[in-house]
Amino acid sequence: MKKSLVYIDPENVQNSIEILEVVAQIHQEEDFKSYGALINNSTSIQGLHQFDYIINIQNQNLKNYDPVAVTDVMEQLNKKYNFDSIIIPATHFGRMLAPRLAMRLHVGLVADVTKINHNGENLELVRPAFSGRIMAGIITEARKPIMLSVRQNVFAYDVQADKEAEVIDYQPENFKQGEIELLNIQENNISYDIRESEILVSGGGGTLKNFDQIKLLADKLNAEVSASRKIIDNGKADRNIQVGQSGKTVSPDLYIALGISGAIEHVAGLKNIDNIIAVNINKSAPICSLSDIVVEGDALEFVKKLSDKIDENEDQKN
């Protein structure tokens, strides 16, 4: 019986649940049990019923923002259960935890995994490489545990409504506390999460001169705004709305790509999108080959004309 441990990050509990699809793809036809590591009831156990077991770690001195302490506890769990795989969501905290734990366990780490392949007896983990310009397939060795972090919002898990997890209470042994102290929590200026958006109006280099127009169009379409890395690097938008390999992975019903060329590092952030509309002066841009509708032309001019048309229709209604 194979055993797989998933770290449940309160920053994105849904992603931790989706990792169960990764567990299933890794072990395929093999019998396996999934274990979720939960610290101090940081989220409701009832919402984690898809796991076979929830290890409910209880110690008030253990903080889920302290990678030093959590690494110690995760190492203790691996010694106790001898896991075949340990999978960590590639959240902000997960990216601190995963490499520390891999070094502690003397195993390799494949970070930001977006796809699982089986080539004969070999397990291949696919991840973006060279700033997302290529996708690299990494063959893992048989040594336990296989360790990987998984990019958010990439895998979809088929929920089993009638399943219920068995809860295992666990009191960790001595662990070293890091020097991180939480002083306050600052609210994010962005009131939405682009990973949950149904409609995204996304601006790229072609909208750099007047990115604010994108926001006005999004409001008229009851949509949210996202952006490519070029917009973020030029200080035109908050990094929380960046789509791509170094940003977030999105799955809206409609994605309107304005002035976005579609470099592989951006495309890496597009998964399971129903409809893509691309507006670009270059109809041969990579994003166009992925799109359902392509408009050849200047993105900002398109935004202005579409906004005017929406206003005209509203005036006629009134």
Q: Which residues are annotated as a binding site for FAD?
A: 228-229, 242-246, 259-266, 280
Distance CA 145, CA 161 (A): 29
Range list of β-strands (E), the chain: 2-7, 32-39, 53-57, 85-89, 109-113, 115-119, 122-129, 134-139, 146-150, 166-170, 199-203, 224-227, 254-258, 275-280, 293-296
- Partners of 38 in the β-ladder: 56
Count of residues making up the chain: 318
> What angle do helix axes 92-105 and 67-81 make, rounded to 10 degrees?
50
Give SS3 for 213: helix
Q: How crowded is residue 1: how many other Cβ atoms within 10 Å of its Cβ?
A: 8
Give SS3 for 313: helix
Instruction: Report the amino acid identity of residue 283.
Output: K
Which tokens in the block code for residue 44? 């409701």
C-beta separation of 65 from 182 below 8 A = yes
How open is the CA angle 47-52-55, to the nearest 5 degrees? Answer: 75
Q: How crowded is residue 182: how many other Cβ atoms within 10 Å of its Cβ?
A: 8
Give SS3 for 289: helix
DSSP string for residues in 253-278: SEEEEES----HHHHTTB-S-SEEEE
Residues flagged as binding site: 228-229, 242-246, 259-266, 280
